[in-house]
């Protein structure tokens, strides 16, 4: 599945969205401020955002819309400012894709600004002070699983060396294996690396290291697929 946010924050689209928000008549201008703490409560309200969206900090597990941690993880890594993400969320609240199932203007005015501020601050966040729910991890999304299953102790997201290869730039790259083969790190390869870690071994690494923590088929296929999506976002 290609999540809309993957496309959303490329510079051009972002600029377009900002323009859209800026010029939208009657519904308010570009977000300034917004109370994230208040936004969290609104996000979690009955029939609100959390009923359709997974967000680890909010402990919401909705499956109808995209997982918002995964949706904004890559954008945060790419250094997009919170205020820019806030405006994207605000635009989404006002102008969701027609027919997608996300109702427009579910929240309005300062409530909308508060929710947008909250999502911008706490989606894909590791800030346990501002986003206290983050520490609990989970939410069922790839980012939560990366933390809760312990992948983060061996795989970095910033390219730095660790016990295992970094996830940064992994998707689509050429991986040399101890068998002498070179494979492309596509969906199938990543899925297999998680479901059956010792089946192929990356050149320069030892078998049995990952399986000391993650045994064959320990991770469910559904969770493995979420992890693959998460890894794909680490560009």
Residues that bind ligand HEC in the complex, under the rule CB under 6 A: 3-5, 8, 48-49, 51-53, 64-66, 68, 71, 89, 92-93, 96-97, 100-103, 106-107, 115, 119, 149-151, 153-155, 163-165, 170, 175, 185, 190, 193-194, 197, 201-202, 205, 209-210, 212-214, 219, 227
CA pair distance 180, 176, nearest whole angstrom: 7
Between 134 and 229, CB nearer to ligand HEC: 229
Cα separation, 37 vs 122, whole angstroms:
10
SS3 readout for 84-112: HHHHHHHHHHHCCCCCCCCCCCCCCHHHH
Tokens of 199: 């089946």
- Dihedral sign, Cα of residue 137, residue 140, residue 143, residue 146: positive
Alpha-carbon torsion (171, 54, 82, 166), positive or negative: negative
Q: Does the CA dihedral 129-133-138-141 come out positive or negative?
A: negative
Give the whole-angstrom CA distance, residue 40 versus residue 229: 25
Query: For residues 103 and 159, which CB has a smaller minimum distance to ligand HEC in the complex?
Result: 103
Report the nearest approach of ligand HEC to the CB of residue 25 (Å): 21
Closest to ligand HEC by CB, 28 vs 96, is 96
CB of 111 to ligand HEC, least distance (A): 8
Min. distance of Cβ 179 from ligand HEC in angstroms?
11
Min separation Cβ 126 and ligand HEC, Å: 17
Q: How far is the CB of 225 from ligand HEC (least distance, A)?
A: 11
105/135 with CB nearer ligand HEC: 105
Nearer to ligand HEC, 65 or 141 (CB): 65
Q: How far is the CB of 132 from ligand HEC (least distance, A)?
A: 19
For ligand HEC, which is the closer residue by CB, 114 or 134? 114
Q: CA 173, CA 184: separation in Å to the nearest integer?
A: 6
């Amino acid at each position: 599945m290609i999540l809309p946010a993957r496309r959303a924050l490329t510079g051009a689209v972002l600029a377009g969205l900002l323009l859209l928000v800026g010029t939208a008549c009657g519904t308010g201008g570009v977000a300034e401020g917004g109370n994230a703490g208040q936004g969290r409560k609104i996000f979690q309200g009955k029939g609100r955002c959390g009923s359709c969206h997974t967000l680890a900090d909010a402990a919401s597990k909705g499956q109808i819309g995209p997982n918002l941690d995964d949706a904004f993880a890559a954008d945060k890594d790419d250094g997009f400012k919170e205020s820019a993400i806030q405006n994207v969320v605000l635009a989404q609240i006002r102008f969701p894709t027609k027919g997608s199932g996300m109702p427009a203007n579910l929240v309005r005015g300062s409530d909308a600004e508060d929710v947008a501020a909250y999502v911008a601050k706490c989606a894909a966040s590791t800030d346990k002070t501002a986003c206290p729910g983050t520490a609990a991890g989970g939410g069922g999304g790839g980012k939560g699983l990366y933390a809760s299953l312990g992948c983060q102790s061996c795989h970095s997201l910033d390219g730095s060396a660790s016990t295992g290869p970094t996830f940064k730039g992994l998707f689509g790259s050429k991986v040399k294996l101890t068998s002498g083969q070179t494979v492309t790190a596509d969906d199938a390869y990543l899925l297999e690396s998680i479901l059956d870690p010792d089946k192929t071994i990356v050149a320069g690494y030892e078998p049995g290291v990952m399986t000391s923590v993650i045994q064959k088929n320990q991770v469910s296929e559904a969770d493995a697929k979420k992890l693959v999506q998460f890894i794909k976002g680490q560009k």
